A = this chain, B = another copy of it.
Amino acid sequence: MADQWSRWGLDLHLQSQAGRGLRAGIEYALREAVRSGRLPAGTRLPSSRTLAGDLGVARGTVTQALEQLVAEGYLESRPRSGIRVAPQPAAPPPTITPPPQATLPPLRGVDLRSGFPDLAAFPRRAWLAATRHVMQTAPNTALGYRDRAGAAELRHALAEYLGRARGVVTTPDHIVICAGYAHALRLVSQMFGHRGAIAFEDPAEPGYPRLAVHLGHEARRIPVDRDGLLVEALSDEAAAVVTPAHQYPLGVTLSPARRVELVSWARRTGGFIVEDDYDGEFRYDRQPVGALQGMAPDRVVYAGTTSKTIAPGLRLAWLVLPGSLLTPLWEATRWEESCVNVIDQLVLAHLIENGELDRHVRRCRTRYRRRRDLLGQAVTRRLPQARLSGVAAGLHAVLRLPGTAAQERALLDRLAARDIHVEGISSFYHRPEESPLALLIGYATPADHAYGNALSALVEELAIVVA
């Protein structure tokens, strides 16, 4: 085939597109020529007979290609004037603006940032086996399933699992499957936002109150002390978002007295509690403190996720709602659709029902407890000036250092220069300058074989700094 369309002074480099044949090649070449301006608007094309001859292809192929391009608006066909290039307002080339990363890219070196489980422990074989089970057993209708609350199989499995593992009192009808905790929090914010302010802990993951504000709602910050949320600082908020099992980031547990106080606040004011139970499965020195939800299923919206038990990349979470909030939730999120792949929901349901999730969590708990113990020993031995807290549960601890928040940036930079990546705690505070000088140590993040070295690198470097 000729690759140049030279009779009328234009080179059209034709490429036969794999599997699409000559016609597609002609269309592609013409489209590109029009788009790029090499064929300006108004250019009259030779007859299809001439083109076919030039190109050495059947006339019908050329005719079909030209018709296609007329249909797409690149060419126009007028009676008696043949085919011309249609007017194409010159499109500036799209500017390349890389989207912001929501999280830092994977790091080399020592990564002890919080928020990640050990991704090397991802149960790949179990996930694949459960996918096989779902592909072999799910009815066809399941794959069209778009129930906004989520797949019934997963809601049933979760009702049983959350009751057994977390003391949550509920039924499948009260469970809504979400695409990660941020999605769950968005739904919750949309539901509560028009009723009044939403209270968040201070310190807390800063993106969460900001999300509420971004959605147009009022976010208030309530201080946290060693007993958890300072409940007495709540007033007329529509909802209070708390992390009772292991406060994020401080790691403290909401005390029994505060739990009762918080439920009383909700009962008294008509407010609701949003219990973010992000790492409730991981408690090391005794069995997990049961979910606050169990004390007051009518006042607590319980939120859980697989982000810490399995992996954040799954984007799987759930809300357990009081019956009185089901209709308000559906009203507030009307016309939205489910955001969660039904296959993933059925896979997770199977992992819960066949005990794989329990086994995985147990294995991880043993591993993380050992890492926590190693962290404690290393701090005791090499950093007597520091104080480790928040170690009873979860995937991270807080290492308080002598000094003030003003020194944090320099400290983190110094560590980063040694390729040791941890977070300071100040950015979690509403007023970062009032933060203590402390590091958040995500001890679950490294792969198991890398943990010992990561820990040594961190502690040895800090020993030099604080000496």
CA distance A136 to B125 in the complex (A): 9
Which of A271-279, A319-327, A433-441, A451-459 faces chain B? Answer: A319-327
| A260 interface contact, C-beta 8 A | yes
Binary contact readout A312-341 vs B (1 if CB under 8 angstroms, 0 otherwise): 111110000011101100100011111111
Assess the A260–B315 pair: CB atoms within 8 A.
no
**Complex alpha-carbon distance, A355 and B177, angstroms:** 32
Give A78 Cβ to nearest chain B Cβ, in Å: 11
For the complex, what is the distance from the CA of A142 to the CA of B105, rounded to whole Å?
10
A441 CA / B264 CA spacing, docked (Å): 56
Interface-lining segment among A292-300, A366-374, A382-390: A292-300
Given contacts A35-B169, A144-B311, A337-B102, contact A68 B289 (CB under 8 A): yes
Q: Which of B119, B180, B290, B343 contacts A339 (CB 8 A)?
A: B180
* A171–chain B nearest beta-carbon distance, Å: 7
Residues of B within 8 A of A427 (CB): none
Q: Given the complex of chains A and B, what is the CA–CA distance between A89 and B299 in angstroms?
A: 11
Residues of B with C-beta under 8 A to A135: 124-125, 127-128
Partner of A72, one of B186, B259, B341: B259
Which one of A3-11, A43-51, A92-100, A403-411 is at the B interface? Answer: A92-100
Instruction: Determine whether A364 belongs to the interface, using a CB cutoff of 8 Å to chain B.
Output: no
Chain B nearest CB: distance from A52 CB in Å? 18
What residues of B have a CB within 8 angstroms of the CB of A119 in the complex?
Answer: 140-141, 143-144
* Binary contact readout A121-143 vs B (1 if CB under 8 angstroms, 0 otherwise): 01011011001100110011111
Residues of B contacting A337 with CB < 8 Å? 102, 180, 182-183, 315
Interchain CB contact under 8 A, B316 and A341: yes
Complex contact A256–B70 (CB within 8 A)? yes
Q: How far is the CA of A299 from the CA of B92 in the complex (A)?
A: 10
